[in-house]
Amino acid sequence: MTRKQRKNLIRIILAAALLIAASLLPVEGIWRLLIFAVPYLMVGWDVLWKALRNILRGDFFDEQFLMAIATIGAFVLGEYPEGVAVMLFYQVGEWFQSVAVGKSRRSIAALMDIRPDTATVLRDGQELEVSPEEVQVGECIIVRPGEKIPLDGVILEGMTSVNTAALTGESLPVDRSAGENVVSGSVNLTGVIKVKALSAYEQSTVARILSLMEESASKKARVEGFITRFARVYTPCVVVGALLLFLIPTLLLHGSFAEWGRRALVFLVVSCPCALVVSVPLSFFGGIGGASRQGILVKGANYMELLSKVDTCVFDKTGTLTKGQFAVTAVHPQEVDESALMDIAAAVESFSSHPIAASIVRAHDSHLDKSLLTDVQEHAGQGLTAMLDGQRIAVGNGKLMDAVHADWKECHLPGTAIHIARGSEYLGHVVVADVVKPEAAEAIAGLKKMGVSRTVMLTGDRREVAQAICGETGVNQFRAELLPQDKVSQVESLLETGHTLAFVGDGINDAPALSRADLGIAMGAMGSDAAIEAADVVLMDDKLTKLPKAISIARKTMRIVRQNIIFAIGVKVLVLLLGAMGMAGMWIAVFADVGVLVLAILNAMRTLKQ
C-alpha cells in the first residue's frame, strides 16, 4: 500500500467514525448541518474541488460532478447522513480502485524492472560505468553476478547461469558460456562474464519490450472503446433525466418537492457509470499484467480481445512446431556396422559448412581423423567425395549415388537421407531431420481441448515430412512445399472462411504472415527484433505450451469483462426503476453505485491471478 493510499484510508475511517458520532448526537437545525458537514468535507473536499475545477474548464458531465450534485442535493433536502454516506462510500470505491490499479501496475512493473541502470564497459583497459545508451556496438561489457545484462550480446569470456524469468516467465536459470548469446534484461547469477555488445540499447530486447508495454495501454479493445463512448453520452442523459424526474412531477403534477427531489438524487447516485468505466479497463490492464508475468506480451487490450476469439491456429513448421535444428534420427548401415558408417560420414561431412553436415558431425564426435582424407571435392546440390585408403568415398543424396553407380535405396522415414558409398559399393544411409519439439503434441492437444479444433501447418518442406510431423503433433491439416510468399496467400485463403485466425511463427522470416493474420503470435522471440515488431502477441521463449495458456488468460479476462458489464448494468437498471417509483432510498442507491463498483473491481482483480 502506498503512502497516499494509507492517508486516504485513514481519512475514510475517521470520516466514518465522525458520521456515526454525528448520527448519535441529539442536535437539530443549523448545528446538525454543521456537525455532518465536518465528515462530509473531510472525505469529499477533493471530489468537490475536482468537480468545480472541471466545471470551470467546461467539462460538466463526469463522475465528480454527479457525486457533488447528488450529495449537495441531499444536504439541501436535509438528508445529511445520506449525503455524507454517498460521499464516504464513493471514496471507498475510489480507494479500492487505486489499490487494484496499483497491483496491476506492480505486475507490469516487475517486467519493467528489467531495464538496467548502468553498464560497465571496458575502454582502453579501464572499466567505466556508463549508461546503457552510451555503449557502442562491438564494445566489451563486464557483467558481474547479480547484475542485469544491459545489452544483447555474445559472451567473450567466462561462464555463468542466467535468470531470464522477467522475460520468459521461466523460473529455472539457463547456463551460458563463451560463444553463446545473452539478452538484455536477464540477470547474471554466478560468474563474471565479458560480453560483446551486438546491438545499441535502442534496438535491444529490453528496450523493445519496454516500448511495447508502454504502448499497450493506448490500444483499447472494442468493448473498452464502446464503454468510453457510452459514458460520454450516458452521463449527460442521466443528468437531464434526473432533472426531468424532479421538474415534471413537481411543476405539472404538483408533487412533493422533497419527495421528487429525493428520487432525482437517488437517480443521480445510481446512474454514475464508474463501475463500467473503471472495471473494464482495469480487467484488461490486469490481464495484460498477469500474462506478462508468464512471459506472454500482449500489445494491447484489442489484441487480448482478439486472442480470446481465436478458433483457428496456423503454424509455421521450422522453429515453431520443430526445434529448427537438424539432428540424426536414424542410421541404417548395410555393408559395415553403424559405428563405421558414422565414422566415414562424419569425417567427410566435417569438410562442409551445411547445417545437415554439421548435425552429422555433432552426432558422432569420435569420427575418423580428417588428415586421412585427401582430394575432398564438393558437388553442388549432391554432396561430397573424398579419397580414403585409396578408395573414393561418396557422401550425399541419390543423385551422387547414381553418379558413382551405387545401388542405393530410398528411406521410408521422414527427413533427409544422406547416403554413403565406397567406390560403387553402397554402405548405407543416415537420416537427418528437424526434430519436433517435445511439448508440441501437448500444446496442440491443449488447444483442441479449448475448442481451437482447426490447426494448420505451413511449410516449405516435402509433403512426406509435413505429414509425419502432423501425425506426431496432432495438427489437423498441412500445406507443404510452399515458397515464402505462398504462406501469405495460404493465410489469406484461410481467412476467407470467417474464422478468427492466429498465425504462430518464429517472427524472423514469418513477418508478412504474422501481419496478415487476424492475430500474429511470435514465439521464441527473446532477442528477435523481427518478432517483437511484427507480432501482436509475443511469447518470449520457444515453449509452445504457452500458446494455450495465452488463449486461456485472454478468455478469462474477457469473461470477467462481460460479467462486470452485465452485473453493473443489470443492478443499475433495476435500482433506477425502483428509485424512480420511490421504492429505493439513498442507501440502496449507494450500493447500486459504490457497492457495484467495489464488487466489479474485486472481480477485475482476478485477472491478475494467472
Give DSSP secondary structure letters for 333-401: ESSS-HHHHHHHHHHHHTT---HHHHHHHHH-TTPPPGGGEEEEEEETTTEEEEEETTEEEEEE-HHHH
CA 236 to chain centre: 37
- What distances in angstroms separate CA 557 from CA 306, 554, 560, 561, one per listed residue? 12, 5, 5, 6
Give DSSP secondary structure letters for 457-503: EE-SS-HHHHHHHHHHHT-SEEE-S--HHHHHHHHHHHHTT---EEE
Cβ–Cβ contacts within 10 Å for residue 561, how many? 29
Length of the chain: 610
CA–CA dist 74, 247 (Å, integer): 17
CA–CA dist 103, 89 (Å, integer): 21
Using alpha carbons only, how large is the chain's radius of gyration in Å? 34
Judge whether 124 counts as a catalytic residue. no
Give DSSP secondary structure letters for 10-36: HHHHHHHHHHHHHHHS---THHHHHHH
Closest CA to 361 of 395, 322, 406: 395
Which of these is catalytic: 62, 316, 536, 593? Answer: 316
Which residue blocks in 160-204 are alpha helix, DSSP H? Answer: 165-168
CA–CA dist 256, 261 (Å, integer): 8
Helix 80-112 vs helix 596-604: crossing angle, to nearest 10: 10
Cβ 160 vs Cβ 193: under 8 Å = yes
- What cell was used for 608? 491478475
Q: Which residue has the cell 495501454?
A: 217
CA 25 to chain centre: 56
DSSP, res 518: S
Give DSSP secondary structure letters for 220-249: --HHHHHHHHHHHHHHHHHHHHHHHHHHII
Cβ 25 vs Cβ 35: under 8 Å = yes
CA–CA dist 18, 252 (Å, integer): 41
CA–CA dist 119, 182 (Å, integer): 15
- Written as one letter, the residue type at 96 is F
Active site amino acids? 316
